[in-house]
Amino acid sequence: MSTREKLMDRIIKIFLMVVMILLSTQGSICFLFAVDVGSGTKKDLFVYIKEDIRDPFIPLLDNSSGEKIVGLSSKDTMQIKLRGIVLNGILWDQDKPLVLINNKIYKLGDLVNDLKIESIDADAVVFSYQGLQQKVSFVVEYDQ
């Protein structure tokens, strides 16, 4: 990254911090400011504005014991976990089907976001979580 790019990054960060401080003093708005400084040259800027929504730093699950937080059913937990899955493609083979999820390749029995891949069909994948199963398909099914 050139010196000019570094300087521009710093100016933008300072500007955003000043704006967020000014806005947060005007009411009950809370900001989270984060910059992804990964190994690549691109930096992503994330701004989280909190008004009346859940605090993202309070976990939905207690990861130390694997138990649910009170009030969250297995079905709700599974739906939340499914939101983190993007079905990119299915590499269909009768003997060894593979599925492309979040741009990574998985096979039968693999875990993705704590969801087990139970079956892979030509147009759908079935996930299981704590005895529940959910089919994710490329085909949209309409109720008649």
Give the burial class of 16: count Cβ atoms within 10 A of its Cβ; 0-12 exposed, 13-18 middle, 19 or more buried.
middle
CA gap 10, 42 in Å, rounded: 14
Of 33, 32, 25, 26, nearest in space to 50 by CA: 32
Using DSSP's 3-state secondary structure scheme, residue 76 falls into helix
Q: What are phi and psi of 60, to 5 degrees?
A: -75, -30
Q: What is the pLDDT along the chain (144 residues), one digit of tens a residue?
A: 788 888 888 888 777 766 666 655 555 455 555 555 554 545 555 555 555 555 566 666 555 555 555 566 788 888 888 888 888 889 888 889 999 998 899 999 999 988 999 999 988 999 999 899 999 887 666 666
Domains annotated for the chain, with CATH where assigned, are 3-50 (no CATH), 61-137 (2.30.30.830)
Of 119, 114, 107, nearest in space to 129 by CA: 114
